[in-house]
């Protein structure tokens, strides 16, 4: 397995200089061909992903594949990634793109085909060869994507080795790939263990932390729309995206109205006993989601928990009083389960959202549903999240599907989440930028003093008369003037000469 990882890294490295020399037109032709091939297989990719992993919803997998093949492609298509990519005439700086090099791309089982499409597209746009490492439970569907996109790239004259993928997958092989000397940068999407391994591989790495996104409903919100947005986001692909809603925090003034709207739109509130039953099934003793129920429907999870729910239930909702180890359902839940908190005002809501983010979602995503702009801004200023989406589902807003954020399937969590960036990752993150910088103002030039010279030998003749000009010349030439008792010296010459130690007294004669 490790042998394959080494061989693929070396193969990609051989392709790197060829890809780096491609023109912008050549790169765009390759990327266009790859995106077109992905669009043609959107549904087959999705179907195989659901069949192989058992996660999610076919229609939503199709939507994610379409997002990667269409929205991401449309966003990156006009980007300049070759040669001069920027000029600042006022500052006289020219920016030149340089590809990072071989990309090691770790692809998860939760969003396997869409993430593979997205990572291949952004790597090629940046002129970087890529080696894809699939999650062990999604090897077939990710391989299908890589094979399909590689065939299209080759037809568009991409070099051999521009797209590579591992077929013999293990944690050891993935670690070998990430540490290989020919790999320049890592795109890691997966569990925290894998992301930490990426950061410890000794290479630049873009990792993604967990989500645990809170959703705050403020008293001025359109409550019906807020409920719809949160349920839509949570139910999308059965809650598999890391930016999926995980908690609802609602102001007391509109809590009853919100509860009715959630119930009307498919949310089922659990009794304390049902919450306990759900917790026992859904959360492991290590306070992690039970893998058996990741990406499963609300009906499947309810049945396994012995809970009777109305037909048409989309999301299970558990009312909690706190956050942390004593409240297991306050963690990130990769399935259609929400925790529910009622707060007295937006200030208390602000603190509750901070607590939720600190318990496994630092730097990722949250939403606020409100029409009160000062409150919205306060949430933007104070929350430890780098995507605070307003009046939209966190799932869709964070990736740029319903907002103006850069379309991406890898979302950085910045310093809060232990990541190198807080950006949505695009081809720009796989480029180094060289800068030509012309002089705007001359540097101050320091004139060095003349090197000290040995004093000239004293003259043998005693001067008869010494004026100011004689002394100044002697100083300039680095020599002395011998004077005696009969030498006539003007007052200024004596003053300057004695200060400069130019005048040398001849011995007295008998």
d(CA 157, CA 26): 8
d(CA 156, CA 150): 10
Contact (Cβ atoms closer than 8 angstroms) between residue 101 and residue 123: no
Question: What does the DSSP assignment read for 143-162?
Answer: HHHHHHHHHHHHHTTPPTTS
Site of tokens 């180094």: 432
Structure tokens belonging to residue 21: 């020399």
Strand partners, 14: none
SS3 call for 204: coil
CA dist 397 to 195, 290, 332, 358, 429, Å? 23, 27, 18, 21, 21
Structure tokens belonging to residue 291: 């893998």
For residue 171, which of 201, 133, 208 has the smallest C-alpha distance?
133
Contact (Cβ atoms closer than 8 angstroms) between residue 162 and residue 153: yes
Question: What does the DSSP assignment read for 388-426?
Answer: EEESS-HHHHHTTSSSSSPP-S-B--TGGGT-S--SBP-
For residue 269, which of 173, 337, 169, 191 has the smallest C-alpha distance?
337
353 is catalytic: no
* Per annotation, catalytic residue among 22, 141, 242, 353: 242
Report the catalytic residues: 242
């Amino acid at each position: 397995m490790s042998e394959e990882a080494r061989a693929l890294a070396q193969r990609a490295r051989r392709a790197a200089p060829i890809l780096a020399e491609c023109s912008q037109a050549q790169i765009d032709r390759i990327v266009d061909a790859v995106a077109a091939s992905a669009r043609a297989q959107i549904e087959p990719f999705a179907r195989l992903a659901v069949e192989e992993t058992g996660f999610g919803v076919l229609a939503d997998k199709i939507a994610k594949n379409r997002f990667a093949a269409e929205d991401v492609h449309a966003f990156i298509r006009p980007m300049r990634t070759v040669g001069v990519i920027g000029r600042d005439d006022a500052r006289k700086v020219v920016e030149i793109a340089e590809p990072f090099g071989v990309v090691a791309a770790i692809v998860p089982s939760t969003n396997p085909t869409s993430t593979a499409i997205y990572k291949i597209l952004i790597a090629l746009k940046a002129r970087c060869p890529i080696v894809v490492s699939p999650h062990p439970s999604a090897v077939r569907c990710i391989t299908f994507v890589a094979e399909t996109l590689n065939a299209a790239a080759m037809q568009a004259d991409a070099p051999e080795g521009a797209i590579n993928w591992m077929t013999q997958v293990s944690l050891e092989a993935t670690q070998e790939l990430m540490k290989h000397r020919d790999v320049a940068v890592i795109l890691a999407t997966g569990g925290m263990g894998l992301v930490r391994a990426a950061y410890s591989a000794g290479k630049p790495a873009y990792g993604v932390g967990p989500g645990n996104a809170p959703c705050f409903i403020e008293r001025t919100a359109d409550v019906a729309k807020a409920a719809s947005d949160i349920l839509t986001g949570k139910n999308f692909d059965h809650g598999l995206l890391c930016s999926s809603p995980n908690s609802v925090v609602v102001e007391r003034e509109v809590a009853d109205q919100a509860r009715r709207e959630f119930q009307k739109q498919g949310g089922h509130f659990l009794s304390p006993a049902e919450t306990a039953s759900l917790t026992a099934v859904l959360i492991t003793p290590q306070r992690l989601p039970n893998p058996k129920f990741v990406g499963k429907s609300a009906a499947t999870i309810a049945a396994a928990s012995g809970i009777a729910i109305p037909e048409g239930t989309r999301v299970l909702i558990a009312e909690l009083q706190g956050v942390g180890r004593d409240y297991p359902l306050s963690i990130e839940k990769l399935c259609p389960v929400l925790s529910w908190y009622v707060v007295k005002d937006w200030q208390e809501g602000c603190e509750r959202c901070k607590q939720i983010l600190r318990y496994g979602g630092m730097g990722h995503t949250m939403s606020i549903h409100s029409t009160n702009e000062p409150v919205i801004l306060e949430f933007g200023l104070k929350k430890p999240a780098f995507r605070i989406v307003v009046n939209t589902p966190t799932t869709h807003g964070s990736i740029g599907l319903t907002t103006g954020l850069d379309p991406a399937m890898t979302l950085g969590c910045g310093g809060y989440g232990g990541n190198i960036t807080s950006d949505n990752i695009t081809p720009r993150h796989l480029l180094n930028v060289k800068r030509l910088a012309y002089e705007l103002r001359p540097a101050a030039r320091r004139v060095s003093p003349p090197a000290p010279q040995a004093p000239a030998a004293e003259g043998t003749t005693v001067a008869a008369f010494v004026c100011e000009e004689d002394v100044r010349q002697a100083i300039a030439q680095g020599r002395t003037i011998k004077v005696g008792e009969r030498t006539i010296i003007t007052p200024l010459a004596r003053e300057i000469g004695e200060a400069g130690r130019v005048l040398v007294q001849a011995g007295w004669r008998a």
